[in-house]
Amino acid sequence: MSPVAIVTGAGAGIGQATARMLYERGHRVLAADVAEEALAWTTEVPDVIPFVGDVSTEGANEAMVAAARKAWGRLDVMVLNAGIARRTHWTADDAVEAFDRIMAVNARGVVLGIRHGAPAIAESGGGAIVVVGSTSGVRADPERFAYDASKAAAINAARAAALDWAIRGVRVNVMAPGPTMTGILQGGRVSAEHLAELTRNIPLQRMGTPEEQAEAICFLASPAASFITGAVLMCDGGVTAQAGIFPPPLKENA
């Protein structure tokens, strides 16, 4: 029987690449995103069901797990990829509001995903949860305190879940991507000069691709990683292996 996977934040970037890759490797996939239009790609792919919902809410997490089980009778893999990022200044008028929203999606969303996904995976005989963290969860970035805090929380929540759910056959791991050509780094929103500066600070001297990140996620979700749980896999081109000064925060073009 083909395994069943849920991927959150599947509308674009790493999430979409992961959902497509899991499907290509034999999974039936529920692709979840907060933006309905971002899931239009699923209409072209059989055995991929779109699901629209906000992962920061308990109702959406409960409903997406129920939808996967209703469609296919089981759940084997859950990839908790949904996340948001933005610059946050400590003294800005909306600093606390921004912090609350980022924590709600990036940390609370992971907790709720595990809360509802792990029991369903255990009932299916065991499987894997992969949390998409970030290098920002193990080090700090300028003008990103809310994002950094949220990813650190997500990483340690995943580690704790790995301990709590191991006895039920549910492995929980983190894939922590480094600079990847998605979102703000695409479409001319960031200057070529700043991209070049950022790239110079990556030991491999290039950005990662969504497909490379998806490969790392699919590995952790697969039987090839059957004795790995509670781990944080860095897929960052060597960024966290080095000591030194990181480039200043990205500035969007005017």
The domains located in the chain, with CATH, are 4-241 (3.40.50.720)
Closest listed residue to residue 97, CA positions, set 86, 111, 107: 86
Active-site choice (23, 72, 145, 147)? 147
Q: Which two tokens stand for residue 112?
A: 């709720």
Give me the half-sphere count of Cα atoms (radius 13 Å) on the Cβ side of residue 76. Answer: 18
**Helix then strand then coil, % of the chain, to nearest 5:** 50, 15, 35
Distance of CA 56 to the CA centre of its chain: 14
Catalytic: 23? no
pLDDT tens-place values along the chain, 254 residues long: 899 999 999 999 999 999 999 999 999 999 999 999 999 999 999 999 999 999 999 999 999 999 999 999 999 999 999 999 999 999 999 999 999 999 999 999 999 999 999 999 999 999 999 999 999 999 999 999 999 999 999 999 999 999 999 999 999 999 999 999 987 666 556 778 878 888 998 999 999 999 999 999 999 999 999 999 999 999 999 999 997 655 555 555 54
Residues 6+ apart with CB under 8 A from 40: none
Long-range contact pairs involving 242-246 (C-beta distance under 8 Å, separation at least 24): 242/203, 244/201, 246/141, 246/142, 246/201
